[in-house]
Structure 1
Amino acid sequence: MLDLHQPENLLQTFVKVRSSLKPDEIIFAWSGNIYSVIPGQRNRLLFSIDGYNVGRCIEVPGGYQHLMREVTFYKDPASGEILEHWQNPFTEQAVNVVHVWNDPVNQQYLLDGPYGKFVLPITPLGKDRLCASMDIMLAYPSPLPRAQYPQYSQSDLYQGAEMFQFFFSRQDAENPDLFSIPCDISWTRLGPWLPWMEMADRPGSLLYHCSGYKLTEGYQEIPVAVRNYVEQQQPKYMHAPDEFTRPNETSWTYFKKHRAQK
């Protein structure tokens, strides 16, 4: 019986859900929509998205390191085509789309972390289903200060929220013969305008609503259009990293580098 109050059980369960107790490559894929949220205006569908991350968990003293890369592509919600350019309906300007190419997005899952013992809220759903939740509230100095990037930055403070739910079977989690278990995910994000939208400091935010799952067949299960785009543009994202490195990449730090190269 899985004891939901024991940090050791929670840590091992989360690694089985999120990746694998073995150092195998595991892929999560997701799709969904992005909406504008502007005070006094009706919310507006701007993009659909497809993305995935590919990673492996490595056991280290005291826990695990999760080595990952991730991509997300902004698509036309009507045609489903991956966008290269976008006509901004708020500024009426054409802009170049900068997709998510984050390498790395590494994590550490430690039994004794900087804030104490490993904690993972898990809610029972009926007899067998469980839901693990992670609500991440973000607020830190923006990599794109307004004074230097007035066209691309909404604020000197990056402020947002990322809310994840992982749905899985209690029976799978309690099975000692399973190193990795099936999982479905829900992901909701509230964040500022993307830098490449060139919205400056206009009021408003972006709301992301996505669902996804752990792929059982690996990379070949990713949609063909996404695979083709990755293999043509940056094929290293077909596989997980081999070493744990810092700092992590975000859409803001990637855009900063992308802008500098231009």
Structure 2
Amino acid sequence: MPDYSTDYEFSRLNFYRDNHGKQLYYSWQGDIWWIEAPGKPKEKLFSIIGMNATKILLKSDPEYGEVGYRLNREIGLFCDPETKEILHYWQPQNGSPEVPVVHIANRMVQGSLRERKIVIPQGQGYITKVNEIPLSYPHPLAKESKFRDYCPGETFQGVEYFTSNFSRPGVENIPPATWARDCPWMPWMKLGYGHPARLRYETTISRVETFEELDPKLVRLVREKLPIYEFTPDECDELNTTSILYFKRHFDSYLRGEIFPIEETA
């Protein structure tokens, strides 16, 4: 039985020490809601299923001594909110042409974490921490006229929320981690410059032991079109990918009405 009689302290770098060099897999799923315009009700727009193939490393650092480092390959598939089938095309408005759904395919997202102590107070089995990350930067599509219908404005304004639970050894029935995001509409939705629609992603995250334990739709997609997403390299000199940069890179494929994600084998 876990001991609750005293405060329990540990370092977040313990996870990196315990898993250094390992290939890990995370499964996430949830729903995407939108408010199409101020004053309108929130509506469920899509469901989403996703995965991260993650490599965990502990690295020396001249400033902090040691840092935890993650390299991720990430996929997210937009699905019908009722049938849960993967969507390939979507109609922005009644009477308008359908547009290709550009799924999330971030071939590299990496970053570091310095040591941080977590204290679980006496009498508690775990504590919950929410990491709120404001997002504000010039929108990558705003300066080019060809992207006018695919850009909500000059500035991207959003917030990401990562909710994690930290526990004493041996504690069970811990709530899953969650990821949420408030942001403008996605470029592939083609709502027109300055359209006020906002999105809310709400997902839960779980770690699985093997690639085959991920959602079968993801396993099949990776094996058929995205084989590099099954494994993560130990190091990578590529810039981090975002959904907006991915859309920009594959804009011609989008205009041709191709089915996303685009095949990546190397």
What TM-score do you get using the length of structure 2 for normalisation?
0.81
- Give the match's secondary structure for 2:87: coil
Q: Which residue of 2 aligns with 1:247?
A: 239
Q: Among all aligned residue pairs of Structure 1 and Structure 2, give the percentage whose two residues are the same amino acid.
A: 29
- Answer whether contact 2:120 2:168 (CA < 8 A) is retained: no
Q: Which residue of 2 aligns with 1:214?
A: 207
Q: Which residue of 1 aligns with 2:264?
A: none
In structure 2, relative to structure 1, the CA distance for the partners of 1:47 and 1:98 (3 Å cut) is same
Q: Which residue of 2 aligns with 1:137?
A: 134
State whether structure 2 residue 192 is matched by structure 1 residue 197. Answer: no
In structure 2, relative to structure 1, the CA distance for the partners of 1:218 and 1:168 (3 Å cut) is farther
Q: Which one of the candidate residues 95, 98, 107 is aligned to 1:94?
A: 98
Q: Structure 2, unaligned stretches of length 5 or more?
A: 1-6, 61-65, 256-266
Q: Which one of the candidate residues 216, 224, 239 is aligned to 1:232?
A: 224
In structure 2, relative to structure 1, the CA distance for the partners of 1:125 and 1:258 (3 Å cut) is farther
| CA displacement at 1:126 relative to structure 2 | 6.4
Instruction: Give the Cα separation in 2 of the matches to 1:85 and 1:253.
Output: 20
- Answer whether contact 1:91 1:199 (CA < 8 A) is retained: no
Q: Which one of the candidate residues 158, 161, 183 is aligned to 1:160?
A: 158
- Give the match's secondary structure for 1:255: helix
Q: Deviations over 1:84-109 (max 9, x none)?
A: 11122367331101100002110111
In structure 2, relative to structure 1, the CA distance for the partners of 1:124 and 1:40 (3 Å cut) is farther
Structure whose CA Rg is larger: 2
| CA displacement at 1:50 relative to structure 2 | 0.1
| CA displacement at 1:167 relative to structure 2 | 2.3
State whether structure 2 residue 250 is matched by structure 1 residue 258. Answer: yes
Q: Which residue of 2 aligns with 1:12?
A: 13
**Paired amino acid for 1:29:** S
When the two chains are superposed, the root-mean-square deviation of aligned CA atoms in Å is: 2.5
Q: Which residue of 2 aligns with 1:114?
A: none
| CA displacement at 1:124 relative to structure 2 | 6.2
In structure 2, relative to structure 1, the CA distance for the partners of 1:12 and 1:86 (3 Å cut) is same
In structure 2, relative to structure 1, the CA distance for the partners of 1:190 and 1:231 (3 Å cut) is same
In structure 2, relative to structure 1, the CA distance for the partners of 1:46 and 1:126 (3 Å cut) is farther
Paired residues, number: 238
Instruction: Give the Cα separation in 2 of the matches to 1:21 and 1:159.
Output: 34
- Give the match's secondary structure for 1:202: coil
Instruction: Give the Cα separation in 1 of the matches to 2:73 and 2:41.
Output: 35
